[in-house]
Amino acid sequence: MILLSLILILLVGGILSWIVSRRNTMAARWIAAISVGVDLAVTIGIWLTRAVAAQSSPGRWFVETNLAWIPQFGIRLHLAIDGLSLALLLLTYFLGIMAILSSWTEIRQRVGFFHFNLLWVLAGITGVFLAADLFVFYLFWELMLVPMYFLIGIWGHERRIYAATKFFLFTQLSGLLMLVAIISLAILHQQTTGILTFDYEQLLHTTLSPRAARLLMLGFFVAFAVKLPAFPFHTWLPDAHTEAPTAGSVILAGLLLKTGAYGLIRFVLPLFPGPSRELAPIMMTVGVIGILYGAVLAVAQTDLKRLVAYTSVSHMGFVLLGVFAGNEIALEGAVIQMISHGISTGALFILAGFLQERLHTRDITHMGGLWETMPALSGAGLVFAMASLGLPGLGDFVGEFLVLLGAYQANVSLTVVATLGLLAATLYGLKFAQSAFQGPNPHHWKLPDIRPRESAILGFMMALLLWIGLYPQPILNTVRSSLALVQQSASAKEIVRR
């Protein structure tokens, strides 16, 4: 029941925060922060004892909860955690705390309802990473949607309604396509085995014709590609990031995009190994296009949040490239890139929020010379800009290096083209650092430097990026067995089909 409690703590915490805020908004903030902190502590406990758990219950999962829910339709409340979901849950709760702290003074209206929606989004993300029943997975996939719509639509900036509606339509329509694919897969499984089920482990053994597998794979892939986002399904992302409040941008970039990548690894590769292998060159090409397209457009942006949004398109292109490269090195690189991108890009959005709070603008052409008046905050910004462009010693470099190393074994020409994205990343990273922090101070800014709360937020994120960049082995050890099982499941299913 420990896994179910991770979700319930967030749901109940969100409700309590909403209720308490009517009398004390500060208490509502603390309830939200403590709720996510408890989940983080529990997940760290699972991480530290995962070897013992794996020995006591050998198999795919470290911890598992499997309860009957709607037996007549073969639906069970099946939650399970392995190395992959564990790593992403740690990221979820860490960024959740950072999002709450970064909005501590930014959100002043409807504070309780804000934290209610924030915690319910985190609950949906938790469910996505834990669900081992495809129907339950879809429910949590949709649970993320509505609270995020409110976060953007209520507390966003000037064009918030347009951005929230665009986000809702893209994700809702693609999610419905995935629901059709999930139901079709369950029906096909029933036709071949006589058992109606949505259980992940049982559906892994479903025998499908090549045509059915290809169609179902595309149903899943479109939903995950929209959330990733992959080119050309990315157009909702810049608007959503630009108009969202700081915490919304952190959750969007750091976590919601990762649910798309997680879906590709957890479901598309093992459920549909044949089509995944057949379409891999196309998917890798789409990933490379996203790398170059996002990086080039990022260079052209003057709005800081929009610039960071397009860097996400580029970075998640590396993830797509790694997922379909077809080897363990690239998969491990994709996971490291997911985690590092969540931290570095989340930090850049938090930094953008801090700058907007002081300068009342996100236009980097109206900045300049900030190092003179805010050296500590500017130094932190430079570190995260360097992390985003892939500086060795920081987390993003490890992910991109492993992805390119694995992709090189699969397709040399595409890998060579993908490396051009690193050159473009240097351009947008240096453009941001130079335009915002360096040069003369034309406005003669006299602004407060980094505050203790802000220093704690950015300091923790900086330390994690440095840790991943210098010693990624604990994360690799955590996810390696899960990724190996993904590949083994795909290989075994291919052998059976032949």
Task: Give pLDDT, residue 368.
Answer: 79
Specify the pTM. Answer: 0.93
What is the structure's pLDDT at 445? 67
Tell me the sheet residues that pair with 75: 70
Average pLDDT, the chain: 90
What is the pLDDT confidence band of residue 322, given thresholds at 50, 70 and 90?
Answer: very high
Tokens of 358: 């002081």
How high is the pLDDT of residue 53?
53
Instruction: Report how far residue 377's alpha carbon sits from residue 108's, in angstroms, rounded to the nearest whole number.
Output: 23
Q: What is the C-alpha separation between 161 and 124, in angstroms, rounded?
A: 22
Which band of pLDDT confidence, cut at 50, 70 and 90, is reported for residue 343?
Answer: very high
- Over the stretch 410-421, which tens digit does the pLDDT of each residue have? 999 999 999 998
pLDDT of residue 55: 46
d(CA 377, CA 381): 6
Closest Cα partner for 123 from 105, 103, 147, 87?
147
Peptide bond before 229: cis, by omega within 30 degrees of 0?
A: yes
Residue pair 136/77 in contact by the 8 Å Cβ criterion: yes
Predicted local confidence at residue 437, as pLDDT:
84
Is residue 491's pLDDT more than 90? no
* CA-to-CA separations, 216 to 116, 159, 227, 416, in angstroms, rounded: 35, 36, 18, 32
Give mean pLDDT, residues 461-489. 90
Residue 372, pLDDT above cutoff 90: no
- % the chain with pLDDT above 70: 95
CA distance 128 to 90: 14
CA terminus-to-terminus distance, the chain: 40
The SS3 of residue 293 is helix
Q: What is the pLDDT of residues 254-307, one digit of tens each?
A: 999 999 999 999 999 999 999 999 999 999 999 999 999 999 999 888 888 999
In the prediction, which pLDDT does 242 show?
Answer: 87
Q: What is the pLDDT of residue 44?
A: 94
pLDDT higher than threshold 80 for residue 51: no
Angstrom distance (rounded) from CA 238 to CA 62? 37
CA distance 203 to 218: 17
Torsion angle, alpha carbons of 274, 275, 278, 282, to 10: -150
Interval 405-463: pLDDT, tens: 999 999 999 999 999 988 888 888 888 888 888 877 766 767 888 889 999 999 999 99
Say how far apart CA 310 and CA 287 lie, in whole Å. Answer: 14
Residues 6+ apart with CB under 8 A from 263: 128, 220, 223, 224, 227
243 close to 160: Cβ distance less than 8 angstroms: yes
Give the model's pLDDT for residue 182.
Answer: 95
Task: Identify the pLDDT of residue 494.
Answer: 56
Percent over 90 (pLDDT), the chain: 65
pLDDT value at position 4? 94
Structure confidence at residue 105 as a pLDDT band (50, 70, 90): confident
Where are the domains positioned within the chain?
279-488
Is the pLDDT assigned to residue 115 strictly greater than 90? Answer: yes
How would residue 497 be classed by pLDDT, with cut points 50, 70 and 90? low
Answer whether residue 198 shows pLDDT above 50. yes
Confidence band for 231, pLDDT divided at 50, 70 and 90: confident
Cβ pair 116, 45 in contact under 8 A: no
Q: Rounded mean pLDDT of 374-383? A: 90
